[in-house]
Amino acid sequence: MQTIGRRLLWQGVAERRLNEGEHNISQQETVIKQLKREGRDLALALSVLDTLIETQKALFHERDLIVAQLAKRFG
């Protein structure tokens, strides 16, 4: 059985991952803008961005599950 402290720790980890994910998406968007200005191929950069966005969706889901478990267990 997990304590509320452990669940809150996991929620904090999930929130940190979400923040890092937002930062990574922002950086990749900057890379794409630079490549576009230089007239370079965007295929790989856009693929990376798509992967980052899909990962971010999974991280949101993970965080939401943790929050729901906390609410269910501790009100």
CB 35 within 8 A of CB 45: yes
Maximum distance among all Cα pairs of the chain, rounded to whole angstroms: 56
* Separation CA 34–CA 4 (nearest Å): 45
CB 50 within 8 A of CB 1: no
Mean pLDDT of 56-69: 93
What's the confidence (pLDDT) of residue 46?
98
- Domain spans, the chain: 4-74
For 6-30, the pLDDT digits (tens) are 878 888 999 999 999 999 999 999 9
CA 57 to the chain's CA centroid? 6
What's the confidence (pLDDT) of residue 52?
98
What's the confidence (pLDDT) of residue 55?
97
Q: Token pair 């370079």 is at which residue?
A: 40
Tell me the chain's radius of gyration from C-alpha atoms.
17
What's the confidence (pLDDT) of residue 2?
62
